[in-house]
Structure 1
Amino acid sequence: MKPSPLGDVWMGKDNAPVTIVEYASMTCSHCAHFARDVLPKIKERYIDTGKVRYVLREFPLDPLAAGAFMLARCSGDDKYYPIVDSLFSQFNKWVVQNPIPPLREISKQFGYTQQSFDACLQNQALLDKLEEVRKRGSQTFNVQSTPTFFVNGERVVGALPLEEFAKVIDKYLKA
């Protein structure tokens, strides 16, 4: 899979034998569950051991999800996954009626000021690129729901439990 229009940010080795590409939305409860409960175990078992390269691609289902991804992207590659992890772990705090105050508080933990927070969320070029990523996922890879994964190109839909996901990964490690 070619890199996204925004460029890919990944965890793991460049040359890992297995690549997992996840299309997720920051406001998707199943994506948050996967990020909190399954991904850390995949990271420990496969990513940290050099077996898997993991790429998260933005597939915002609504403007709030787009804004959350924008905050992760504006922070730079080194803070991208820490912000995404923080947002997913605090999902119930900011996916609410008035999300701006909790998003602002979370972003402060990563060095955002009021000015940089506002500037990021007003970055139309970044928003347009996020939409390109989502559109490409939908039109080119037929992503229709989140989370949707591609494990070495094989489509896997839904937040599977670790052992089910491990079966897919292990199949490619044995190949």
Structure 2
Amino acid sequence: MMIGKVRAFVALVAAAFSVSPLQAATPDWNRRVAATPEGGWLIGNPAAPVKLIEYASYTCPHCAHFMAEGMPALRSRYIATGKVSLEFRQFALNPIDLTEGMLVRCTATPAAAVALGEKMFADQDRILDRAPDQSQAEALNKTPEAQLHTVLARDMGLDSWATANGLRPARVKTCLADLQLRDRIVAIRSQAVKTYQIQGTPSFVLNGKRLDKTVTWQALEPQLQAALP
């Protein structure tokens, strides 16, 4: 009798803690973020049959609009299925862009970089409200190269914005003075121009082919659907 009770209890516990094969085999692809050799961040299934690259600028209004309008649907309808991956690559347009990109690369993990970049897009209007005017820009042109991004971040409040969003002040200071970090961002842009003839933002590359006249979610989604296996 006692042995039977023990067996019944063991079976009950095993059932309570079991995971069905379907549950075990369904990863949360939106939480899978990895750095790529090309300098971007890949969100989703690295073996997805449909591979989308977005080139974007943190100071680009159309990019911020796409982030607000298209990213939720892209994540929920496509990346979550494991059939589509998104690689975000920065296409820097100006010194503010470079400064923001350097701050994003101060983060500890690729997932944190993506999250901070998305926050930058969400706060874009507020950040750019403090962009340099003509006289400030002229003064910045005289700033030594090694100090440019530190001064720009201070004047625009980007350094305090970064610390308010989780970066340590010492880390911010180090990253803004790291010209190799800046050069890496410049190299991503140069490679985009060379490989895909990217000229503006946002620009999308789908399975190795640049998509022309595609800057909105309404224009992009039908092309994603057509590419699905």
- TM-score, normalised to structure 1, is 0.89
Structure 2 CA distance for aligned equivalents of residues 159 and 102 of structure 1 = 29
Cα deviation, 1:55-112, whole Å, max 9, x if unaligned, reads 0111100011111111111203120110011000010111232573542333124422
Q: Is the CA contact 2:106–2:167 (under 8 Å) kept in the aligned structure 1?
A: no
Q: Please, which moves more after superposition, 152-161 or 88-97?
A: 152-161
Corresponding residue for residue 65 of structure 2: 33
**Structure in which a larger fraction of residues adopt helix:** 2
Gaps of 5+ in 2: 1-35, 133-151
Q: Which secondary structure state, in structure 1, belongs to the residue aligned with residue 70 of structure 2?
A: helix
Q: Which secondary structure state, in structure 1, belongs to the residue aligned with residue 51 of structure 2?
A: strand
> Which of 35, 43, 54 is equivalent to 2:75?
43
* TM alignment of 1:1-150, pairs within 5 A: 3-4=37-38, 6=39, 8-75=40-107, 76-96=109-129, 97=131, 100=153, 101-150=156-205
Structure 2 CA distance for aligned equivalents of residues 26 and 119 of structure 1 = 21
Structure 2 CA distance for aligned equivalents of residues 45 and 102 of structure 1 = 36
Give the deviation of 1:41 after TM superposition: 1.1
Q: Please tell me the residue identity of whatever aligns with 2:215.
A: A
Q: Which secondary structure state, in structure 2, belongs to the residue aligned with residue 45 of structure 1?
A: helix
Question: What fraction of aligned residue pairs are identical, expressed as a percent?
Answer: 29
Q: Is the CA contact 2:59–2:128 (under 8 Å) kept in the aligned structure 1?
A: yes
Give the deviation of 1:17 after TM superposition: 1.3
Q: Is the CA contact 1:35–1:85 (under 8 Å) kept in the aligned structure 2?
A: yes
Corresponding residue for residue 161 of structure 1: 217
Q: Please tell me the residue identity of whatever aligns with 1:91.
A: Q
Structure 2 CA distance for aligned equivalents of residues 111 and 31 of structure 1 = 23
Structure 1 CA distance for aligned equivalents of residues 58 and 83 of structure 2 = 26
Cα deviation, 1:6-27, whole Å, max 9, x if unaligned, reads 3x31111111111110111111
Q: Is the CA contact 1:36–1:89 (under 8 Å) kept in the aligned structure 2?
A: yes
CA radius of gyration, larger in: 2
Gaps of 5+ in 1: none
- Classify 1:68/1:150 alpha carbon distance in 2 versus 1 (closer, same or farther; 3 Å): same
Cα deviation, 1:11-59, whole Å, max 9, x if unaligned, reads 1111111111011111111111111111111111101121211001111
Q: Please tell me the residue identity of whatever aligns with 1:87.
A: M
Q: Is the CA contact 1:87–1:106 (under 8 Å) kept in the aligned structure 2?
A: no
CA RMSD of aligned residues (A): 1.8
